[in-house]
Amino acid sequence: MSGDAPPSDVAVDAEPPHVEISFWSATPGAEAERVEAIGYSDPFDVRVNGLPPGARVTLHARSFGNHSHADFVASSAGEIDVARDAALEGTYTGVDREGLVWSMQRETAGTPGMYDIECAVEIDGVTVGDAKLVRHGFGYGLRNRAVSDDGLVGQLWAPDDGAAHPTLLVVGGSEGGLDTAAFQAMYLASYGYTTLALAYFDAGALPRTLTEIPLEYFGTALSWLAQQPEVDAERIAAWGASRGGELVLMLGATFPQIRAVVAEAPSHVRWAEAAGTAPPTHSAWSYQGTPLPYVPVAPGARAVSETLPSGDVGYRFAPAASQSVAEASADTLAAATIAVEATKGPVLLLAGSDDGLWPTCEFAAAALARLQGLGHATQYADDAVCYEGSGHLFGPPGSPTLDLYAVREPGSSQWTVLGGTPAGTAHAQREAHTRTLAFLATALR
């Protein structure tokens, strides 16, 4: 226990008072209601009552093999509210309604699909109350099917009501395949959208690498979507992150069917292929049979190394990307810049101030400046947000964020720094979640 924290002088009887842990919805703009079950990413508060007034207590939370804990002092009414009261010490400190979730540390292997939150409260090491909040996984109430028509590789997710819904084309990034896009599509579908998770390389008969991917492939996907009964063809948006963020900015500028674009950790310019360890020599994208111009890596641009807490060496690539843009000739930069102002609807750009992979706040600001300078933002109310303390990864809120700072490349000992603090990333996830849903509701109304 912290030495400067007020000590508990409350004796705990052999038969402690009735202590109750309850969970309350915390949706912005809505009155809090007591809940026993919520969606995985839905916000909630933890409250405890029936405690001895002034008692020093420890609140524990467990989910999916992870554990967090924080010490509080009960109010004069014998209550704790994590949205109001400061944690004195533990896996997080201060007032943070989601601190018990994002600060969870790995405890066991966990059980796949078990997303419930189990809470317990202790006084002097004795458990005096416990409760469980059921959290439905993203597939709850949805139906999905594999998509292989017209050479597409994807998954369609939709609410299980048979109706046509506003629709999102969802793409992943340089990891390739379908996993990231499918997870994001399932998550967004849980909020009432039909979503198509679309792979564009390294899956099925698609190209193995991110090299000269034809934008016409995505036009085929949009045409296919318009024919599906689950889809409202007049209300289609695109969502993508990282290289997928770069991609959806191009798609919005190319295909008028797209009425809104959400780009997380995006780039305002096109980049070269992602073809492995060899230096890139081709564009990542093509259109009408022609490779699209891109910003080449500047001579001498290198990743910056740092020592990770584990003692491994991690590499930040953002400085090299920033240098490459700064040193590109005016003609090269003009040719590689995405014409975001051609998008027939609003654009939302989300970025992190500590992005280790790309300087995405810098890139998002450049895209917004172009939208503003050419009048697009006046017409459509485009927006860009730079989240302080967040890295390259956002993702849905509701999960621990302690292990998102760096990732090891598959089949390699090299670590790539994605950046961000656990708290900064978690807060960005929540705010980006709220902002994205509000943006889509308005853009596709």
Task: Tell whether 115 and 193 lie within a shared domain.
Answer: no
Task: Tell whether 80 and 211 lie within a shared domain.
Answer: no
Query: Which DSSP letter does residue 413 get?
Result: S
Cα(138)–Cα(348) distance, integer angstroms? 23
Asked if the structure places residue 7 within a domain, the reply is no
Task: Tell whether 323 and 176 lie within a shared domain.
Answer: yes
Asked if the structure places residue 10 within a domain, the reply is no
Percent of the chain with pLDDT over 90: 86
Q: What is the pLDDT of residue 140?
A: 84
Largest CA distance in the chain: 79
Query: In this predicted model, what pLDDT tens digit does every residue of 248-269 receive, in sequence order?
Result: 999 999 999 999 999 999 999 9
Cα(420)–Cα(307) distance, integer angstroms? 15
Query: In this predicted model, what pLDDT tens digit does every residue of 340-392 receive, in sequence order?
Result: 999 999 999 999 999 999 999 999 999 999 999 999 999 999 999 999 999 99
Q: What is the value of pTM for the model shown?
A: 0.92
Task: Tell whether 317 and 416 lie within a shared domain.
Answer: yes
> Which one of 136, 156, 180 terminates a domain?
136
User: Which residues have CB under 8 Å from 19's CB, separation 6+?
Assistant: 48, 49, 50, 51, 121, 128, 129
Per-residue pLDDT at 11 exceeds 70: no
- Tokens describing residue 272: 């070269």
Task: Tell whether 184 and 77 lie within a shared domain.
Answer: no
HEC profile for 193-241? CEEEEECCCCCCCCCCCECCEECHHHHHHHHHHHCCCCEEEEEEEEEEE
Q: What is the CATH number of the domain that holds 34?
A: 2.60.40.2240
Place of tokens 């964020």: 401
Task: Tell whether 37 and 126 lie within a shared domain.
Answer: yes
Per-residue pLDDT at 7 exceeds 50: no
pLDDT category, 9, cuts 50, 70, 90?
very low
Asked if the structure places residue 8 within a domain, the reply is no
Asked if the structure places residue 317 within a domain, the reply is yes
Task: Tell whether 335 and 318 lie within a shared domain.
Answer: yes
Asked if the structure places residue 5 within a domain, the reply is no
> Which one of 116, 136, 156 terminates a domain?
136
Q: What is the CATH number of the domain that holds 297?
A: 3.40.50.1820
Query: In this predicted model, what pLDDT tens digit does every residue of 41-92 receive, in sequence order?
Result: 999 999 999 999 999 999 999 998 899 999 999 999 999 999 999 999 999 9
Query: In this predicted model, what pLDDT tens digit does every residue of 187-213 receive, in sequence order?
Result: 999 999 999 999 999 999 999 999 999
Q: What is the pLDDT of residue 409?
A: 78
Query: In this predicted model, what pLDDT tens digit does every residue of 141-153 receive, in sequence order?
Result: 899 999 999 999 9
User: What would the DSSP string read from start to end of 53-100?
Assistant: TT-EEEEEEEETTEEEEEEEE--TTS-EETTTSPB-EESS-BS-TTHH
> Which one of 136, 155, 170 terminates a domain?
136
Amino acid in the structure at residue 68: S
Asked if the structure places residue 318 within a domain, the reply is yes
Per-residue pLDDT at 8 exceeds 50: no
Task: Tell whether 160 and 57 lie within a shared domain.
Answer: no
- Domains identified in the chain, total number: 2
Q: What is the pLDDT of residue 110?
A: 56
Task: Tell whether 116 and 165 lie within a shared domain.
Answer: no
Q: How far is CA 403 from CA 311, 318, 400, in A?
A: 15, 20, 8
Asked if the structure places residue 169 within a domain, the reply is yes
Per-residue pLDDT at 133 exceeds 80: yes
- Residues 102-130 have a mean pLDDT of 86
Asked if the structure places residue 430 within a domain, the reply is yes
Query: In this predicted model, what pLDDT tens digit does every residue of 287-336 receive, in sequence order?
Result: 999 999 999 999 999 999 999 988 999 999 999 999 999 999 999 999 99
Task: Tell whether 311 and 418 lie within a shared domain.
Answer: yes
State the average pLDDT for the chain.
93
Query: Which DSSP letter does residue 229 get?
Result: T
Task: Tell whether 244 and 187 lie within a shared domain.
Answer: yes
- Residues 405-422 have a mean pLDDT of 90
- Residues 441-445 have a mean pLDDT of 96
Per-residue pLDDT at 217 exceeds 70: yes
Task: Tell whether 105 and 152 lie within a shared domain.
Answer: no
Count CB atoms within 10 A of the CB of residue 76.
7
Q: Which 3 state secondary structure label does DSSP give 346? A: coil
Count CB atoms within 10 A of the CB of residue 239.
26
Tell me the residue range of the domain where 25 lies: 20-136
